[in-house]
Structure 1
Amino acid sequence: MLVAALNPIALKFGPFEIHWYGVIIATGVVLAVVLAMREADRRQVSSDDLFNLILWSLPFALIGARLYYVLFEWPYYAAHPGEIIAIWHGGMAIYGSLIAAAIVFYVFCRRHQLPVWLVLDIAAPTVILGQGIGRWGNFMNQEAFGAQTSLTFLQGLHLPNFIIQQMFINRAYRQPTFLYESVWDLLGFVVIMSLRHRKGLFKQGEVFLLYVSWYAFGRFFIEGMRTDSLMLFNLLRVSQLLSLIFFIGAIGLWIWRRYNDPLLVDYLAGNQKK
């Protein structure tokens, strides 16, 4: 049976093409920025400062995401150097973008005397929302999929037919691991947003640490289901290793801060120095 995949190109103007991958990623970014700026005002952090921070972070996040992916797939890109900048074909590693953005956040906040932990808290839930939306870009590119499965299995998940059709890749139906991660991320967004404003629940930095531990926990298991993982020495899945490190590190840092710093400020207290 011939199954037609969705067209990854949203619009075409002569030789110029706009891919759904970019449209979806941009949509997630815009929504995340709007929500983060609203929360910044509530926490006495200048929305202008936050917007400038985001403007600095985005290009470095994109570079970090691509550089991370290219480095771990270097034999291919060394043979096809023209593909290095072809981000519309996919190949953006979320962990690469997060690491690059975190460095920019730290440097920017230090230089502009902004509370680093508070700014990370403000951004965290919007980042996981953007990640959940962005996975649908992988869907349009037919990437970030899992092992072979059956049509019966996919129908048993009660998925819309357009998802089932798009999961027919390389002459076989595939596990929709992009969907599993998207659902996990969006669920994490709902959980964090529902808890973030509860009085006395979080100290500054803990909303961010909740995000890191939530995402890393789910990503560890979902990554193990994928067939297109970046590998380290052909032995370890890079994202699984990082997920384990980030999960243990986030939980450990949360506990350590609670027991060793009695002066931690509540998240809802906002920027008290403003």
Structure 2
Amino acid sequence: MKQLFPSPSLSSFSVGPLTIHFYALCIITGIAAAIWLGRRRYANLGGNPDDVSEVAIWAVPFGIIGGRIYHVITSPAQYFGSNGNPIDALRIWEGGLGIWGAISLGAVGAYLYFRTHKTSLNFRQLLDSLAPGVVLAQAIGRIGNYFNQEVFGKPTELPWGLEIDPVNRPDGFESYATFHPTFLYELLWCLVVAVLLIKLPGFLKKITSNQGDVFTLYILGYTLGRVWIEGLRIDEANLILGLRLNIWVSLIVLVTASAYLIANKRRGNTKENHIPS
């Protein structure tokens, strides 16, 4: 008998007059995990862990707004096309946060905090402390895609193929029942990156010893996986020269992060023992 990876029948539940969406719970859980791990790593560097909690008050709202803006800009037809509804752009709980927008604007929010408040460590040390927690949060957030039956890939008959309800199948794929669970692939990839950043500080010091490089390695590790995972996805996306926009963005980020890491290595060590364990 063919094995199926079934999608959940519910994406939310009600408590009195409140409707609680599993996607939102996953995002909140991921944020909490990132703050918890970031506080521990920041303290290991000699910083006051309360800095991490306070910067989150700025970074999290900026990140959510940035993630949503990126998603809407890169998938405009879903909201402004012939069958779209612009109001849906505000319904974040239904899914749709672009990681590049979230990281970029979230970093801006964190930087603004550091520019306006006195902190125990510098901004690059904060980024290094947060890197494993951020990618862990991404992994947890991908569970929300499972409940929303979204972010899946091409049809497949593999045993772990994801069963998708007909109403959620893209145009042209109505006759297929099971698809690649690309959100699961990304979840597993993110967990591997998080573990490597946490468990291999000795190895990391062999290839980098400058502040900010651990965060750069997170960017490199994530984008390496995102490129091939993105290639499996079949949800609507803008194409440039036949490739999805997110693949081009990932490639640009990958090259930029690599160049930054190489340049930092050539500059030499700026401070010792900056990599938290």
| Match in the other structure for 1:99 | 104
Of residues 62, 65, 74 in structure 2, which corresponds to 1:60?
Answer: 62
Kept in 1: contact 2:133–2:194 (CA 8 A): yes
Kept in 2: contact 1:110–1:116 (CA 8 A): no
- Sequence identity of aligned pairs in percent? 33
| Match in the other structure for 1:111 | 116
Report the residue type matching 2:26 in the other structure. I
| Match in the other structure for 1:24 | 26
Query: What's the secondary structure of 2:90's corresponding residue?
Result: coil
The residue correspondences of 1:139-154 to structure 2 (distance < 5 A) are 139-150=146-157, 153=158
Kept in 1: contact 2:163–2:179 (CA 8 A): no
Q: CA deviation at 1:110?
A: 3.1
Q: CA deviation at 1:112?
A: 3.1
- TM-score calculated relative to the size of structure 1: 0.85
| Match in the other structure for 1:39 | 41
Query: What's the secondary structure of 2:274's corresponding residue?
Result: helix
Q: CA deviation at 1:25?
A: 1.4
Q: Deviations over 1:192-228 (max 9, x none)?
A: 1111366944422111111000001110110011011
| Match in the other structure for 1:262 | 268
| Match in the other structure for 1:12 | 14
Residues 197 and 17 of structure 1: CA distance in aligned 2, closer, same or farther (over 3 Å): farther
> Does 2:259 correspond to 1:252?
yes
Kept in 2: contact 1:224–1:240 (CA 8 A): yes
- TM-score calculated relative to the size of structure 2: 0.84
Kept in 2: contact 1:31–1:130 (CA 8 A): yes
Query: What's the secondary structure of 1:130's corresponding residue?
Result: helix
Kept in 1: contact 2:128–2:275 (CA 8 A): no
Of residues 82, 85, 91 in structure 2, which corresponds to 1:86?
Answer: 91
Kept in 1: contact 2:5–2:162 (CA 8 A): no
CA distance in 1, matches of 2:38, 2:5: 40
Report the residue type matching 2:271 in the other structure. V
Report the residue type matching 1:107 in the other structure. L
Which ranges in structure 2 are unaligned for 5 or more consecutive residues? 170-175
Kept in 2: contact 1:220–1:243 (CA 8 A): yes
Q: How many residues align?
A: 260
CA distance in 2, matches of 1:148, 1:219: 19
CA distance in 1, matches of 2:139, 2:111: 24
Residues 28 and 46 of structure 1: CA distance in aligned 2, closer, same or farther (over 3 Å): same
The residue correspondences of 1:124-163 to structure 2 (distance < 5 A) are 124-150=131-157, 153=158, 155=159, 159=160
CA distance in 2, matches of 1:56, 1:7: 35
> Does 2:243 correspond to 1:239?
no
Residues 7 and 112 of structure 1: CA distance in aligned 2, closer, same or farther (over 3 Å): same
| Match in the other structure for 1:193 | 198
Residues 214 and 199 of structure 1: CA distance in aligned 2, closer, same or farther (over 3 Å): closer
Report the residue type matching 1:57 in the other structure. A
After the TM superposition, which of the residue ranges 46-55 and 197-206 deviates more from structure 2? Answer: 197-206
Kept in 1: contact 2:72–2:89 (CA 8 A): yes
Report the residue type matching 1:108 in the other structure. Y
| Match in the other structure for 2:173 | none
CA distance in 1, matches of 2:201, 2:9: 39
Report the residue type matching 2:47 in the other structure. V
